[in-house]
């Protein structure tokens, strides 16, 4: 229905000198889509108010409404190009009047969970990058073809927008940090099994993939009107530091049917983990936190385990944010399982001691396009603080001062049977067996169980060592290989000599290997 409009929009963006990357295309599409969506939403609410005889006040004043400046219509319902701004006049209005007007909404909004606040937040973070008012006019005309009235229309638009985010992730550079493969997200959700009434949280939500897929997972159930309201307003929560990711995440959730997403634009790690109260804690955490970054010294000091690795700080935050009995699935680089540094070791001990780390999914190289590192997914459940008080546990002949909340870990080594890449990405079928086997912790050539009593209490090494993999043929000794090469050379020489004799001329035989 809308695929051609999206293709035309992309063509327009590629012609625009101010937009040079897939990140730019997604950013500029996002603010245009947001304003068109907002206009459709407000007009639908206005019509509903008229039918009930109630007054309705638009959030945006008339001169700044989409239908006034972006798409004024004639009597036939077509864009009136005699009235519609274009060229330098359009750029002057957008940069000099529209954006400054919308930026003020953040200060005047009643609370951060209102659509007005989101308006101010979005337009306070992004800029119009169109340098040609004529290209901008073309883009506005394409966006105006889109409609957000029905669930089917929103569903199609959400898929088209997801494709745009995926292209941004595949484009390389820093685009990939905003995109987690959706098949992996869906598998993580199916293992954790969030329920209506639980709070789901991602403290590094990026393009909100985990939140959107959680919404779709829960929407498949037969929900009452009250449950649907709970899902849309009181279930999905996220935080995001980077401006572009925040804007994309907001737009992505809106297209999935959530009018005022509960995403906060903030650096999650600036929050002191010791200040997290029981009321702040959540039931489910699904996340792929950034790794390899670094935070300021004063931020690191608020965490029990001091480290410069951003992903390790997020892991501590997530453990603190979980309610007792809460579940989490977190992507992290696979070196976390075996690194000998103090932070890695301390965090592994923390997971085994205070959480039930019940599953580790080992992902193949290429799962994350352009990431350059292999990853694992940690599935764990937070135990009650009173669990195991006064107990002790012996392992490997050593007496541990702390009882382990984790007794066994089920590992699964994901092997799609092919090399993953841009044109051969991970799909849902690749993860089907993992989800099925995980239900019963089934052992196979790809999966196995590890008894935590057998884990070294000095290193807490949890690295992936598959004991069930088929044995590979042993490597041959060098002298065996050289003997085989010499025998093959001799056989080739004999065949060439026979051929030469048949033809009436000879070939010089090569010297044998010494």
- What pTM was computed for the model? 0.83
What spatial distance separates the first Cα and last Cα of the chain, rounded to whole Å? 72
Residue 513: per-residue pLDDT: 36
Q: How far apart, in whole angstroms, are the C-alpha atoms of residue 359 and residue 197?
A: 25
Find all residues with CB under 8 Å of 202, minimum gap 6, and list them: 208, 210, 211, 237, 238, 239, 285, 286, 287
Q: How far apart, in whole angstroms, are the C-alpha atoms of residue 299 and residue 395?
A: 36
Q: How far is CA 174 from the centre of its chain?
A: 13
- Comparing 244 with 449, the larger pLDDT belongs to 449
Q: Could you read off the pLDDT of 161-183 as tens digits, one per residue?
A: 888 888 876 655 444 455 899 99
Q: How far apart, in whole angstroms, are the C-alpha atoms of residue 211 and residue 263?
A: 10
**C-beta separation of 382 from 326 below 8 A:** yes
Q: How far is CA 372 from the centre of its chain?
A: 16
Average pLDDT value for the chain: 86
- How buried is 496 (Cβ within 10 angstroms: 0-12 exposed, 13-18 middle, 19+ buried)? middle
- Comparing 382 with 22, the larger pLDDT belongs to 382
* Confidence label for 114 from pLDDT (cuts 50, 70 and 90): confident
Of 63-77, 163-177, 355-369, the range with the lowest mean pLDDT is 163-177
Q: Where are the alpha helices (DSSP H) in 127-180?
A: 133-143, 151-170
Give the closest residue to 455 by CA, choosing from 388, 387, 412, 402: 402
Average pLDDT over residues 44-58: 88
- Residue identified by tokens 């390790």 is 312
* Confidence label for 297 from pLDDT (cuts 50, 70 and 90): confident
Q: How far apart, in whole angstroms, are the C-alpha atoms of residue 251 and residue 162?
A: 10
């Amino acid at each position: 229905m809308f695929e051609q409009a999206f293709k035309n929009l992309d063509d327009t963006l590629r012609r625009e000198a101010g937009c040079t990357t897939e990140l730019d295309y997604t950013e500029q599409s996002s603010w245009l889509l947001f304003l068109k969506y907002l206009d459709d939403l407000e007009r639908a609410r206005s019509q509903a108010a008229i039918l009930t005889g109630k007054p309705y006040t638009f959030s945006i004043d008339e001169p700044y409404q989409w239908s006034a400046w972006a798409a004024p219509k004639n009597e036939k319902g077509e864009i009136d190009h005699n009235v519609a701004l274009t060229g330098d006049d359009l750029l002057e209005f957008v940069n000099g009047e529209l954006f400054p007007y919308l930026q003020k909404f953040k200060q005047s909004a009643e609370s951060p969970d209102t659509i007005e606040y989101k308006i101010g937040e979005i337009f306070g973070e992004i800029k119009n990058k169109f340098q040609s008012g004529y290209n901008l006019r073309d883009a506005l005309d394409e966006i105006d073809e889109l409609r957000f009235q029905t669930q089917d229309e929103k569903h199609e638009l959400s898929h088209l927008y997801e494709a745009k985010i995926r292209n941004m992730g595949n484009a390389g550079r820093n685009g990939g940090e905003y995109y987690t493969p959706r098949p992996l997200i869906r598998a993580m959700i199916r293992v954790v099994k969030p329920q209506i009434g639980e709070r789901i949280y991602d403290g590094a939500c990026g393009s909100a993939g985990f939140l959107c897929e959680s919404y779709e997972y829960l929407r498949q159930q037969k929900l009452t009107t009250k449950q649907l309201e709970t899902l849309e307003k009181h279930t999905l929560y996220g935080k995001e530091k980077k401006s572009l990711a925040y804007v994309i995440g907001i737009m992505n959730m809106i297209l999935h049917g959530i009018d005022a997403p509960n995403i906060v634009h903030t650096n999650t790690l600036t929050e002191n983990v010791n200040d997290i109260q029981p009321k702040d804690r959540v039931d489910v955490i699904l996340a792929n936190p950034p790794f390899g970054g670094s935070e300021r010294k004063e931020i690191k000091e608020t965490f029990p385990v001091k480290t410069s690795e951003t992903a390790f700080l997020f892991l501590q935050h997530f453990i603190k944010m979980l309610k007792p009995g809460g579940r989490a699935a977190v992507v992290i680089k696979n070196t976390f399982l075996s690194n000998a540094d103090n932070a890695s070791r301390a965090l592994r001990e923390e997971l085994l001691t205070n959480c039930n780390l019940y599953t580790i999914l080992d992902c193949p190289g290429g799962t994350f396009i352009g990431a350059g590192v292999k990853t694992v997914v940690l599935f764990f459940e937070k135990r009650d603080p009173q669990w195991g008080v006064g107990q002790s546990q012996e392992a490997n002949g050593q007496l541990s001062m702390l009882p382990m909340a984790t007794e066994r870990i089920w590992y699964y080594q994901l092997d799609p049977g092919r090399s993953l890449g841009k044109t051969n990405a991970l799909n849902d079928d690749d993860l089907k067996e993992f989800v099925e086997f995980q239900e019963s912790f089934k052992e196979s050539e790809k999966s196995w169980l590890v008894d935590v009593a057998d884990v070294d209490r000095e290193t807490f090494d949890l690295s992936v060592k598959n004991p069930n993999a088929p044995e590979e043929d042993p490597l041959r000794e060098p002298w065996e290989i050289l003997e085989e090469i010499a025998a093959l050379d001799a056989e080739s020489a004999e065949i060439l000599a026979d051929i030469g004799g048949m033809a009436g001329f000879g070939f010089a035989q090569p010297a044998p290997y010494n």
